[in-house]
Structure 1
Amino acid sequence: MPKQPAFPGLRDAMKKKQTRRELFLSEMNVVVPWGRLLGLIEPHYPKTGRKGGRPAMPLETMLRVYFLQNWYALSDPMAEETLYDSEAMRRFAGIELGDDRIPDETTILNFRHLLEQKGLTEAIFADVNAHLADKGITLRSGTLVDVSRRTPSVRVSLRKIIDAPSSTKNKEKTRDPEMSSIKKGNDWYFGMKAHVGVDSRNGLVHSLETTTARVHDSQVWDGLLHGDETSVWADKGYVNAERAAEFAGPGKFWGVMRKAPVGGELHPLDDRINRLIAKVRAKVEHPFRVIKRQFGHVGTRYRGLAKNRAQLFTLFALGNLFMVRRKLVA
């Protein structure tokens, strides 16, 4: 005779171990600035559902489901199914099975489109960074812990290629026309680029630009600097005499990898400098590791630059919170 199922809440209360998913969601529940993000989106969110249809889902529920999508690389249909399967995710979203409606894939899709069309993911990114600055976590030049000894700087990372599907086995029978191919080393890649400016002290992303893969990295340089840098750190693609001259004064440092002269070899001193620069620049890999390994974002999910750009702003905002979650919890 099968056992009588226990009530979900009672079964959860009797658990002896907290899973990694539950631990992660409990931490993120604490560190996400829900109040200011909900206030940001609320003016754009419909107060009621479609005419003659069901009432609109609660805004906080939809925002929490949207973040779950990004943390676990879920499509719209899979996000709906996972909410039915996972008690931990329902609890995080504030949904009680049997008492509350679970948003269907169309509702989830419409919410994502709202954020994309209103430019709200860029606003979420900016608001999260403002929240971190308010909390006293060093970000850009706004909240320096010790101005007399620490100077604002930026580390620039480019050439972060995000792969897009190159197959033509789709409804349009074509590859994404807004993506492009680029050769890196001996390999060809098809997709887009995410260009980020990262704070050199804590590894948090403070600026983001997206382009098709064939756009040269140096073309977005100005968009990645916040203007108060006393040092910059970048690879050889940014070697530029005029830009270097701007950082030639006292108290400034041009941390761009040195290049060997044409047909010659790199000077031993420049080689030592490059090794030092590389150690500093290593921190720029941390945000990409988070969104690729922790959040599972290894390639574009949508067609077109605009939708993928919108998602990247959300991913890096959540990535910043993830990297400093223990400081915020403490």
Structure 2
Amino acid sequence: MTEFHLVKFLDITEDDIIPDETTICKFRNALIKANIFEAIFEEVKNKMIKKVLILNEIIIVDATLIHTSEPKRKRDDKGNIITNKSIDKGASCISKRRYKYYGYKIYITTDTKGIIKQIKNNKKFTKIRAIVELPFAFIKRQMNYIQTKFIGLHKNSQCIYLFAAAYNLKRKPV
């Protein structure tokens, strides 16, 4: 989405006063602290259930990894690693196909139409690959969420809830 499209979508004119970045960050952090993004996701999901856009049928579970900044390696005068601590305490190191990744593992459950029903973080589930890959592809490629935006599990979880709500609103059941 270009800046022009965003201005048009928000219906901003030259006469409007646009808040600065600090004001927007404070507002977003207040929403995150109050778990508003999770509430938005739940509200969208409940509306879809009421309109029979989500059915109580087979549930598919899958996971993806969202990268975060890696721990900094500090060395002493002799070149030995003395610390390898990360700023983001909620993230962890994950091995996948002989490669090491640092970030959060996000699990989602979908129905057979690909509508996201639930989000979990850093928990073990049985992997079933099918239509559940579509939400990950959309969120990572179309919404450009391939790296965490914040530090901490709670803030990043709230961000995922907002992306999932947006995906569900965008997705048209087959």
How does the TM-score come out when normalised to structure 2? Answer: 0.84
Structure-2 residue corresponding to 1:186:
98
Q: Work out whether 1:293 is the aligned partner of 2:141.
A: yes
8 A Cα contact 1:140 1:206, kept in partner: no
- The structure with the greater share of residues assigned to helix is 1
The 2-side partners of 1:195 and 1:291 are apart by 13
8 A Cα contact 2:60 2:130, kept in partner: no
SS of structure 2 residue aligned to 1:283: coil
Structure-1 residue corresponding to 2:114:
203
Give matches, 1:87-106, under 5 Å. 87-97=4-14, 99-106=15-22
Within the candidate set 299, 316, 319, 2:167 is matched to 319
Q: Work out whether 1:310 is the aligned partner of 2:158.
A: yes
C-alpha deviation, 1:167, in angstroms: 4.8
8 A Cα contact 2:121 2:157, kept in partner: yes
CA-to-aligned-CA distance 1:50-108 (integer Å, 9 cap, x gap): xxxxxxxxxxxxxxxxxxxxxxxxxxxxxxxx8xxx332122112112x1111210121
AA aligned opposite 2:68: A
Q: Work out whether 1:163 is the aligned partner of 2:78.
A: no
Of structures 1 and 2, the larger Rg is shown by 1
The 1-side partners of 2:38 and 2:55 are apart by 17
SS of structure 1 residue aligned to 2:151: coil
Structure-2 residue corresponding to 1:224:
none
Structure-2 residue corresponding to 1:148:
none
Identity, in percent, stands at 31
AA aligned opposite 1:307: K
Within the candidate set 35, 45, 48, 1:119 is matched to 35
The 1-side partners of 2:46 and 2:65 are apart by 27
Q: Work out whether 1:283 is the aligned partner of 2:131.
A: yes
Q: Work out whether 1:133 is the aligned partner of 2:49.
A: yes
Q: How many residues align?
A: 163
SS of structure 2 residue aligned to 1:182: strand
Structure-1 residue corresponding to 2:76:
none
CA RMSD of aligned residues (A): 2.2
The 1-side partners of 2:97 and 2:47 are apart by 40
The 2-side partners of 1:105 and 1:124 are apart by 23
8 A Cα contact 1:153 1:199, kept in partner: yes
AA aligned opposite 1:96: T
C-alpha deviation, 1:111, in angstroms: 1.6
- The structure with the greater share of residues assigned to strand is 2
8 A Cα contact 1:121 1:310, kept in partner: yes
The 2-side partners of 1:166 and 1:133 are apart by 39
8 A Cα contact 1:140 1:154, kept in partner: no
Q: Work out whether 1:108 is the aligned partner of 2:20.
A: no
CA-to-aligned-CA distance 1:135-175 (integer Å, 9 cap, x gap): 331x142xxxxxxxxxx1101113x1111111539xxx952
CA-to-aligned-CA distance 1:199-238 (integer Å, 9 cap, x gap): 12x1011000112xxx5x14xxxxxxxxxxxxxxx53xxx
The 2-side partners of 1:87 and 1:103 are apart by 17
The 2-side partners of 1:110 and 1:306 are apart by 16
Which has the bigger relative contact order, CA under 8 A and spacing at least 6? 2
Extract unaligned runs of 5+ from structure 1: 1-20, 22-81, 142-151, 219-233, 236-255, 257-280
How does the TM-score come out when normalised to structure 1? Answer: 0.46
